[in-house]
Amino acid sequence: MEMLERVLIKFLESVKEYSFPVLMAVIFLLIIIIVGNNKSNLLITLVGIAFLASGLFAPMISEKIDNIGRFFAIFVGCVLIGIALFGSRIPSQPPNTPSQPPNTPSQPPNTPSQPPNTPSQPPNTPSQPPNTPSQPPNTPSQPPNTPSQPPNTPSQPPNTPSQPPNTPSQPFSGQSIPSLAECVDIINRGMNEPSKPFGPLEHDNCSDRSPSSVFSGWEDNIGLAAAYQGTTYYDIGCDIKKIMRPYGINIIVQETEGSEDNIRKVRSPDKAYSFGLIQGDFIQWARVNPEFKNIVDKIKPLASLYDQEIHLFAKKSINNIDELKDKRISYGKMKFGGHYSAVNILNNITGIVKNYPNNNLISENETPAEGICKVLLDEVDAMFYTGGAPVLSFKKLEDLFGKYPSLKDKAHLVSLTPNDVSNSPEYSPAKISKSQYSWLDKEQISTLSTKAILFTYDFRSEGDQYHKYRCDQLNDITNGIQNWLNNNNYLGEGFHSKWSEVKDGGLWKKPCR
């Protein structure tokens, strides 16, 4: 400790001898900082000088200040002065951003002295608030290495708005066109569109489900293969669950990927799916398709329910089905029923699409929301979807067009007539009206429809206890739906409007007898 004190005393005596040059150096540094016009560095320097002076001239102020205190004051003063010196050397110009583009005149004639996005006026500073009309954020008005304003050109041409048309004044909500991800998110908002494969033991997601609704055994439950939430299939499945609850039959409405997935699941041996919903045109197509013929051999219709309207959503330049030739078309995911409507109509009946499935203009991976958004964003020219109107994905276009009005002029539903499909028997004329989709340009448009079929496995083919039990359950289900329809209960609140189209004659009271 004594040795340290002796070292400090020697250091302070040496500093005292050279205090005048040290003080002059500090004053010189202060002058440099003042010339630099940096107020924060000036303040730091003044505080540093105060510490340095108190350490150097402490004996003149008070004899009570010991040598360690003087050394500490000198140390702090030097550190502060060093910080100020370092700060004064930091350029106010951001790195790698020259205030004047190289090889250009320092000031083009008749132009402002300050090019856009220079340090004294960076974007999004208080003097130029973000999202102002005169300059979009982070959008330079002049390419690099060019003058900010051509010679003899006024900074603002007469009668020309400072904001270019269709240029967003602010990100997200002000954009005229959303990204694909944002578009899909707006359409899917409030729906639970699946993003994973579905297993046989999925939870029943109907809003009025009972607390224990996981498929636990065939004696207690019967599984209905529907589709994903937000579709008419799923809503109708939830309605059937409600209809049959008073009969003591617990129906587990299971999410699936659509018609093809439903028929495969009902035919599977795991007993989790006993009946489901399927498109009428898919059954007709599958019966003549070698890949599916064996699958549909033991499928039995229970009820012909309602019309599923074909939604041909296309760019405004496409006005009829013939104009789809050589266009980019989204058929939708392979297992969705709409996919097979597109295949059946465009490939098998009309022949508009050639070389399927090797035609690179056809995409088969989109969900309905993705197909809709790709049409609006010009990534495809048209998309097919088959579902009972109003389909929630198309209804949600009201929200999308409310946020991005310019998209409404980019696409529409294309009319379809029986002549377009050579009067094929699996399709019937139908209408889609403005009361179903408020964004339609017309009060209604003509289209085609195919029936939604409630189907099951033909349990009559086997005589064991399980198959007999399922037959009795399905007889009770068809009887229950029949009675419910006869009492006009479908008019009650909380049931899908498509029940009003169900024809009594389409139900078989004894499907297994």
pLDDT of the chain, 513 residues: tens digit per residue: 666 667 667 666 665 555 655 665 666 566 565 545 566 766 777 787 777 777 776 665 555 566 777 777 788 878 877 787 666 555 444 444 444 444 444 444 444 444 444 444 444 444 444 444 444 444 444 444 444 444 444 444 444 444 444 433 333 344 589 999 999 999 988 665 443 333 333 344 574 444 344 445 556 789 999 988 878 899 999 999 999 999 999 999 988 888 889 998 998 887 788 999 999 998 878 887 788 878 888 888 888 899 999 999 999 999 999 999 999 999 998 877 788 899 999 998 999 998 888 888 999 989 999 999 999 999 999 999 999 999 989 999 999 999 999 999 999 999 999 999 999 998 999 999 999 999 999 999 999 999 999 999 888 767 778 888 888 889 889 889 988 888 877 777 788 888 888 865 555 556 665
Question: Is residue 49, in this structure, part of any structural domain at all?
Answer: no
Residue 448 dihedral angles phi and psi, to the nearest 5°? -115, 155
Full domain range(s) for residue 254? 218-501
Q: What pLDDT, on a 0 to 100 scale, did the predictor assign at position 136? A: 42
Q: What residue spans of 204-336 are helical by DSSP H? A: 232-244, 259-267, 280-287, 290-296
User: Would strands 275-279 and 221-225 be described as parallel, antiparallel, or unpaired?
Assistant: parallel
Residues sharing a CB contact under 8 Å with residue 27, sequence separation 6 or more, in sequence order: none
Residue 308 dihedral angles phi and psi, to the nearest 5°? -110, 110
d(CA 372, CA 393): 8
- The CATH number given to whatever domain includes residue 223 is 3.40.190.10
End-to-end, the C-alpha distance of the chain in Å comes to 108
Q: What pLDDT, on a 0 to 100 scale, did the predictor assign at position 483? A: 87
* E strand or H helix at 26: helix 19-36
d(CA 1, CA 438): 89
Question: Is residue 432, in this structure, part of any structural domain at all?
Answer: yes
Q: How many domains does the chain have?
A: 1
Question: Is residue 125, in this structure, part of any structural domain at all?
Answer: no
Question: Is residue 206, in this structure, part of any structural domain at all?
Answer: no
b/e map 344-358, b = 16+ CB within 10 Å: bbbbbbbebbeeeee
Question: Is residue 51, in this structure, part of any structural domain at all?
Answer: no
Question: Is residue 62, in this structure, part of any structural domain at all?
Answer: no
Question: Is residue 58, in this structure, part of any structural domain at all?
Answer: no
Question: Is residue 18, in this structure, part of any structural domain at all?
Answer: no
Q: Three-state SS string across 133-196, please?
A: CCCCCCCCCCCCCCCCCCCCCCCCCCCCCCCCCCCCCCCHHHCCCCCHHHHHHHHHCCCCCCCC
**Is 0.75 topped by the overall pTM?**
no
